[in-house]
Amino acid sequence: VEPVLKIHEGRPNARDMLKNGQIQVMVITSSGDDLDSRDGLQLRRLALAYKVPIITTVDGARATMDAIKSMKNKSIEILALQDYFQPADAPQKLPAAQAAP
């Protein structure tokens, strides 16, 4: 993770780095001023064109960071959606304590 210059702050900036393939994921937040808003719009469009994932909130960046950290410590298990949810028409399984004698 490293901070980079915004488009209006000089070169090399985030636009240059996107075009050169130097950015794998972008965290773009706005302070609300006009220059930031214009830069953010341009960078989001460029990131989309270069297929670079974009995170637009600090909370989203933290959640992404936590997810990446947890993936480094665990193997990835691929399951079908049906493995997580029981179909609505499937018979309900009662816990052993509630089952009839």
Q: For the chain, give every domain's residue range.
A: 7-84
Instruction: Specify the pLDDT at position 18.
Output: 94
Query: Are 37 and 9 contacting, i.e. CB atoms less than 8 angstroms apart?
Result: no
pLDDT of 91 over the 60 cut: yes
Q: What is the mean pLDDT of the chain?
A: 85
If pLDDT is split at 50, 70 and 90, which confidence band does 96 have? low
Element (H, E) at 26: strand 26-27
Average pLDDT for 13-33: 90
Instruction: Specify the pLDDT at position 3.
Output: 87
In Å, what is the CA distance from 42 to each residue of 7, 30, 47? 9, 12, 9
Task: Give the helix, strand, coil percentages of the chain, each rounded to 5.
Answer: 45, 5, 50
Classify domain 7-84 at the CATH superfamily level.
Methylglyoxal synthase-like domain (3.40.50.1380)
Q: pLDDT of 30-68, one tens digit each?
A: 778 888 888 889 999 999 999 999 999 999 999 999 988
